Amino acid sequence: MRRDETVQAVMSRDPITVGAGTPFKDIATLLATNAISAVPVVDPTGAPIGVVSEADLVAKARYQDHPDPPSRFAAPRRRRDWEKAQALTAAELMTPDPVVIGADAPLPQAARELVKAGVRRLLVVDDTGRLVGIVARRDLLRPFARDDEQILDDVRGEVLDRALWLEPSAIQVEVTDGVVTLTGRLQRRSQAEIAARLSHAVPGVVAVRDGLSYELDDIDADLGTSNLLH
């Protein structure tokens, strides 16, 4: 897998971090002066153990003018917010057990992890578990800013030439606003389906319009597999 298809290509490197004992005021200052919405909490080895976000800090502002604890009949969430408002250090403020991902993970995997966990960012770790970056939702949109010419070159070079060993004239490729259009006639249906599928996986592709035809249907209609494999 190419590097531009993995998390390390889009992540923010060398993120600002705090330790478990970092005071509330220092964290608030870090977020404000660096215009960031959250900061990872790391242990002495550099491994992430939690995340402190703006929402964690705002709880203190919410209860600043009425510091008395809520009644025992208050909703559990309100009591948790009040307890968060009493926090003085990163260890007390943070959301523990952050969602992490490896730098070599594919970008689609990162997107699925973000959705599954319902978070705005993933902490990127190396093979030793040390924090090396952060990938946010907006980072995953970066490949879609690629030029149509770059996408066209990848479809022709990586998909048609290297993956399928097809002659340049076998398939006509057009790319407009990230949408790839494939036209032409191939020998086998399996080739046509692979071409469309691999083209869709090229970084920056918004959609694939498959106009390919074929001479031989070599795919089992029931199993969805090529008869050439049996």
104: nearest Cα among 37, 207, 8: 8
Q: Can you tell me the mean pLDDT for 123-147?
A: 93
On the question of pLDDT at 155 being above 80, the answer is: yes
What's the pLDDT tens digit per position in 172-182?
A: 999 999 999 99
Residue predicted with more confidence, 75 or 86: 86
On the question of pLDDT at 129 being above 80, the answer is: yes
pLDDT value at residue 101: 97
On the question of pLDDT at 225 being above 70, the answer is: no
On the question of pLDDT at 221 being above 80, the answer is: no
On the question of pLDDT at 15 being above 90, the answer is: yes
Q: Can you tell me the mean pLDDT for 100-106?
A: 95
Residue predicted with more confidence, 5 or 158: 158
Residue type, 81: D
On the question of pLDDT at 109 being above 50, the answer is: yes
Residue type, 60: K
Q: How many residues does the chain have?
A: 230
Q: Is 156 exposed, middle or buried (0-12, 13-18, 19+ CB in 10 A)?
A: middle
Backbone dihedral region of 115: left (phi > 0), alpha (psi from -120 to 50 degrees) or beta?
Answer: alpha
Label residues 100-127 b or e (16+ Cβ within 10 Å = b): bbbbebebeebeebbeeeebebbbbbee
pLDDT value at residue 85: 80
- Mean pLDDT (the chain) is 88
The order of strands in the sheet holding 48-53 is 18-19, 38-42, 48-53, 95-96
pLDDT value at residue 73: 61
pLDDT value at residue 229: 40
Q: Can you tell me the mean pLDDT for 136-145?
A: 90
